[in-house]
Amino acid sequence: MGGIAVPGAAGPGLPLQRAVPVVFVLIWSTGFVVARLGMPHADPLAFLSLRFALSALAFLVWLGLARAPWPQGRVQWGHLAVTGVLMQAGYLGGVWCAVKDGLGAGMTALIVGLQPVLTAVWISALGRESRIGSRQWLGLALGLGGLLLVVWQKLHLGQIEGVDLALGLLALASITAGTLYQKRWVAPCDVRSASFVQMLAALCVTAPLALWQGLAFDGHPDVLLALAWSVLVLTLGGSSLLYMLIHRGAATAVSSLMYMVPPCTAVMAWWLFDETLTPLVLAGLALTAVGVALVVRESRQGTVVPPPPLNPN
């Protein structure tokens, strides 16, 4: 978790403990669908600015009620701010702008879903963890092959433009860099105060850009529902489940299930928005799932695949 402490603790004997990772992945998957729901009625940066502001306010209230400790020192605040800019403004900005520009929820999820694999490769290349084994390299190749399979068909059908793909890759680069930065520089601190600092830093980046673009937000019920879901379910609920899982030592299980987000999102997008699920797209999704499963399975004995970042979607 890169040095973020977990508030509270729950006993290991809860009856629904085994279902928590699945619920978490389902919640994470809805982030891309929520983007598709809200984008017709709001500029991405305007929406995200409101989301960051409301999320920061919610965490501030939580901090006050729980009397949780704040990060110690300006250096720690600075490191948390950097992760907030990368993992919130950069990542979510890329995701939402890509979906707004027409990339599609399923395709966006597939691109950014490669983040844990890229992170593991980078850590191994630096020699800070165990080296990547042959099975992991095979898994990485299969995962990239599945991605290329899906991208190739959509390019062939004219469904992806260069700008859309660049935005998706920007999101992938931001979340990967943010995870690596957090792992290296963020010292142990309370997750609620860390989340508040991250949201505030992201807001400082997106709000001026949103004001420059004109704050397009029409107040349609769909975008209000998307905003409420983003703050209450994705930011607060999803984060709380993640903290619970990591506290119980289930980070590896969460990382494994995270690779099922793209197929789950693709099915949700097909069901809600009639996004195309051709046999070739399904084959690409399946190939990616097999590849990353090999990476995660091998990582249990060697390289550590980091858990998902703070505040999903």
The candidate with the shortest Cα–Cα distance to 86, out of 7, 150, 182, 167, is 182
Burial category of 159 from C-beta neighbours within 10 Å (exposed 0-12, middle 13-18, buried 19 and up): middle
- Residue keyed to tokens 């998706």: 168
Q: What is the mean pLDDT of residues 270-291?
A: 80
Q: What is the mean pLDDT of residues 270-297?
A: 78
pLDDT tens, position by position, 136-183? 778 777 877 877 777 666 655 555 667 778 888 899 899 888 878 887
**DSSP string for 199-246:** HHHHHHHHHHHHHHHT--B---HHHHHHHHIIIIIIIIIIHHHHHHHH
- Residue keyed to tokens 């919610």: 58
Q: How many DSSP H helices and E strands does the chain contain? A: 14, 2
Extract the tokens encoding 50.
Answer: 């409101």
Q: ∠256-94-262 over CA atoms, to 5°? A: 30
Question: Residue 109 — very low, low, confident or very high, per pLDDT cuts 50/70/90?
Answer: confident
Query: Rounded to an integer, what distance in angstroms lies between the CA atom of residue 224 and that of residue 185?
Result: 36
Cβ-contact 184, 122 below 8 angstroms: no
Q: ∠135-246-199 over CA atoms, to 5°? A: 110
Query: Rounded to an integer, what distance in angstroms lies between the CA atom of residue 91 and that of residue 85?
Result: 8
pLDDT tens, position by position, 205-262? 999 999 987 777 887 898 999 999 999 998 887 766 665 554 454 444 445 556 677 7
CA-to-CA separations, 141 to 120, 172, 301, in angstroms, rounded: 14, 17, 19
